[in-house]
Amino acid sequence: MTDLIGLHGIGLEVQRPVRTRILQPLSLTVEVGTSLAVVGPSGAGKSTLASIIGALQPASEGSYDFDGQRVELFGPRDRSRFRAANIGFVFQHALLIDERNAWRNVALGQVDPAVPPARVEERSREALDRVGLGGIADRGAALLSGGERQRVAVARAVVKQPRLIIADEPTGSLDQRTGEAVLDLLFSLPDSGTTLIIVTHDHRAADMADRCIEIVDGELVA
Ligand SMILES: Nc1ncnc2c1ncn2[C@@H]1O[C@H](COP(=O)(O)OP(=O)(O)O)[C@@H](O)[C@H]1O
Ligand SMILES: [Mg+2]
């Protein structure tokens, strides 16, 4: 199997307001088309690791290889280009624009300006079909339930067919049953070659993942 991600000695120390070590240097590989769960107590550094892998912020040390690209060498502009091309995000809150309907929210994830508007709408509606929401594509986001909103967020993350999906506590605000539907959806992605990294407190999610790592006090412990 090919690695999508190779982290070597990746860590984070911030200098402001005081010098603080957030993440001890860690090494980790993630194979293409697999799922990885990241678990650990609150404040351990899970979201920080996810944000470094998602190129939302740079590490302060170490090297980060993503399919042959040296992400640690990227400046802010290259990082944002890299994110747009390769990574879809799902967070605890769906962060939809309530004034727009479902498909127009999904369309926000289709960031490639070369895709013509008619194709953007078509792809957005297809992505909603895949998350089981084809019937409510034209419904205003404000009218959707919590579980529907999170499925729209998943559709928005996958519409550009990214190599990697990073989901940071995606079921954190959902009840058990709607949470399960969102997990089933996310864990179906690796079948189509998309790699999944999920930060979670949810035992079910950790059980569903191909691999599970634990972060405690900024350190990879298992
Ligand atoms: N840029 C930063 N500057 C200072 N502290 C930070 C920064 N980023 C994260 N932290 C701190 O690092 C710790 C880990 O945060 P986080 O990764 O969000 O934990 P988790 O997601 O495991 O709950 C927290 O104490 C947080 O306040
Ligand atoms: Mg977090």
Q: Is the CB of 76 under 6 A from ligand 1?
A: no
pLDDT at 1 over 80: no
Q: Is the CB of 22 under 6 A from ligand 1?
A: yes
User: Which residue, chain included where needed, has tokens 């993440």?
Assistant: 23
Rounded Cα distance between 118 and 193, Å, is 26
Shortest-distance Cα residue to atom 24 of ligand 1: 43
Alpha carbon of 161 to ligand 1 centroid (Å): 29
Q: Which of 35-44, 59-68, 183-192 has the lowest mean pLDDT?
A: 183-192
Distances (CA, A) of 162 to 130, 143, 190: 15, 28, 11
For residue 50, the tally of other CB atoms under 10 A from its CB is 20
Alpha carbon of 56 to ligand 1 centroid (Å): 14
Pocket test for ligand 1, best of 20, 22, 92 (most atoms within 8 A of CB): 22
Instruction: Quote the pLDDT of residue 197.
Output: 98
Q: Is the CB of 15 under 6 A from ligand 1?
A: no
Atom of ligand 1 nearest to the CA of 22: 12
Shortest-distance Cα residue to atom 27 of ligand 1: 43
Burial of 114 (0-12, 13-18, 19+ CB in 10 A): exposed
When pLDDT is cut at 50, 70 and 90, the band that residue 215 belongs to is: very high
DSSP string covering 1-47: --EEEEEEEEEEEE-SSS-EEEEEEEEEEEETT-EEEEE--TTSSHH
| Contact indicator for 22, 49 with CB cutoff of 8 Å | no
User: 3-class SS at 192?
Assistant: helix
Instruction: Quote the pLDDT of residue 14.
Output: 95
Instruction: Quote the pLDDT of residue 12.
Output: 98
Amino acid making up residue 33: G
User: 3-class SS at 168?
Assistant: strand
Alpha carbon of 174 to ligand 1 centroid (Å): 23
pLDDT at 26 over 80: yes
Around ion ligand 2, residues with a beta carbon closer than 5 Å are 47
Q: Is the CB of 20 under 6 A from ligand 1?
A: yes
pTM above 0.75, yes or no: yes
Closest among 186, 221, 189, 178 to 205, alpha carbons compared: 186
Rounded Cα distance between 46 and 217, Å, is 10
- pLDDT tens for residues 85-118? 999 999 999 999 999 999 999 999 998 889 999 9
When the pLDDT of each residue in the chain is averaged and rounded to a whole number, the result is 95
Ligand lying closest to the C-alpha of residue 60: 1
Alpha carbon of 110 to ligand 1 centroid (Å): 29
User: 3-class SS at 132?
Assistant: coil
